[in-house]
Amino acid sequence: MLDMLLEEFIKSSGLKKKSFAQSVGISTTNLWKILKGITRPSLKTAQKIEEFTEGKVSMQELLFGKTSQKSEEKPSIERRIFSLEKRVAKLEKLESENS
């Protein structure tokens, strides 16, 4: 599975940042610092975030950051295509079951 950035996950989940921070056991200030790149999360916090996001945000991304702008753009497109393909497959399956 392709990695998702933490901020992307929070936005797409519809959660408020405060709720997300509480869910993973950190302060909103600490979350803000992580999102702004001021600090990296502890190993324990990175594990909690990865578990909470069901692996959509990886510990590796949280602890080591982005590799480069170019390599980040491709996974984003690939992630969208993968998501769309999964949705189409589900719809096709439902359609065949209802026929």
Angstrom distance (rounded) from CA 72 to CA 30: 24
Q: What is the pLDDT of residues 30-70, one digit of tens each?
A: 999 998 888 899 999 999 999 999 988 888 888 887 644 44
Of 4-8, 69-73, 80-84, the poorest mean pLDDT is in 69-73
What's residue 64's pLDDT? Answer: 82
* pTM higher than the cut 0.75: no
In this predicted structure, the answer to whether residue 16 has a pLDDT above a threshold of 90 is yes
The pLDDT assigned to 77 comes to 72
Residue 32 neighbours by CB under 8 Å, 6+ apart:
17
